[in-house]
Amino acid sequence: MFDLKSSVQSQFDRVAANYRTSAVHARGEEFNQMLALAHLRGDERVLDAGCGAGHTAIAFAPHVASVVALDFTQSMLGQVAQLAAEKGIANVEPRLGDVEHLPFGDGVFDLIASRYSAHHWPHPQQAVQEFRRVLKEGGQVLLADVVGFDDPTCDTFLNAVELLRDPSHVRDFTPAEWITFFQKAGFEAEIRYRWDLYLDFESWTQRMATPALNVQAIRQLLAAAPSEVRAALKVTAEGFWFRCAVIEGKRMNKE
């Protein structure tokens, strides 16, 4: 029987180092946008939920008291420790855990950040409920990820391409879906920043060590895609563009 969470661990155990050196994951204007939206004082305790190689944790660490970098894959946490050492960052704590079952007490974090992780979560509503539980009153979530399309055809092709590249992919949820997840969990939520992310096809597939047969299938799927899909993804021979967004959730103080 296929187990999605085991698939996530298996996939990323093999390629963890690629994510520490990935320019896509190491850089981006969204870092500046997330830091500005956080209105940091300097004494915050932050959770990087689904931290991957730790780039988001490292971005926040110089501006806060401490960051817990949580990931489901032990090899990724090794990359976090290495990256922190390379950057001279001492206030990041790597922690093994599942965003859907956070290993923390209630109300212990001021801020939760997450970037390029949420499309792997099989039960995003449960994860957002957990975020609310571990946040202090008035706490904030800043979630950045690739987002899906409201148009069903474009959305189907987007997620098919993602799944062929990475079998641990669940879904690029639409902005409206994220707003609903947050509101149901007791957050005030809104889209605070949008951007388009260019992905070079070769490095995108190499980073995940996508099998050659799947790489060929993705190319064939994009080549045969309807014109509206190719336009939405801005497909070229070398790559394409994904839509991304930062969703902000503010924890309401009353039940």
Q: What is the pLDDT of residue 13?
A: 64
Average pLDDT score, the chain = 93
**CATH no. for residue 82?**
3.40.50.150
Dist. CA 56–CA 112, nearest whole Å: 11
Residue 59 has, within 13 A of its CA and on its CB side, a CA count of 22
Q: Is the CB of residue 84 less than 8 Å from the CB of residue 113?
A: no
DSSP state at residue 101: B
Domain hosting 57: range is 4-148+168-197+244-251
Examine residue 226 and state whether it is found in any structural domain, yes or no. no
Mean per-residue pLDDT for 204-217?
95
**Could you give phi then psi for residue 102, rounded to 5 degrees?**
-65, 130
By CB atoms closer than 10 A (0-12, 13-18, 19+), residue 187 is buried
Confidence of residue 8 (pLDDT cuts 50, 70, 90): low
pTM tops 0.85 = yes
Predicted confidence (pLDDT) at residue 47 exceeds the cutoff of 70: yes
235: in domain:
no
Kindly state the average pLDDT of the residues 111-123: 97
pLDDT at res. 25: 87
How many folded domains does the chain comprise? Answer: 1
Residue at 129 is within a domain: yes
**Mapping DSSP to helix (H, G, I), strand (E, B) and coil, where does residue 228 land?**
helix
Rg (C-alpha) for the chain, rounded Å, is 18
pLDDT exceeds cutoff 80 at 11: no
Q: Which residue has the tokens 């212990």?
A: 108
Residue 195 phi, psi (nearest 5): -155, 165
Contact 247, 178 (CB under 8 A): yes
Percent of the chain residues past pLDDT 70, beyond the cut:
93
Does residue 162 sit within a domain?
no
Q: Nearest-CA neighbor of 108 among 77, 70, 149? A: 70
Q: What is the mean pLDDT of residues 180-198?
A: 97
Is residue 225 a part of any domain in this protein? no
**Residue at 222 is within a domain:** no
What is the reported pLDDT for 45?
98
The pLDDT, as a whole number, for residue 21 is: 73
- Would the pLDDT of 1 be above 80? no
Flag whether 234 is in a domain: no
**What DSSP element (H or E) covers 96?**
strand 92-96
6, 78, 138, 146, 219 from 85: Cα distances, Å: 28, 11, 32, 29, 39
Structure confidence at residue 2 as a pLDDT band (50, 70, 90) = very low
Q: How far is CA 175 from the centre of its chain?
A: 14
Whether 212 maps to a domain, the answer reads: no
Q: What are phi and psi of 66, to 5 degrees?
A: -160, 155
Rounded to whole angstroms, the Cα distance separating 178 from 181 reads 5
Answer yes or no: is pLDDT of 3 > 80.
Answer: no
List, in order, residues 6 or more apart from 43 with CB less than 8 Å away.
Answer: 64, 65
Task: Give the C-alpha separation, 41 to 13, whole Å.
Answer: 36
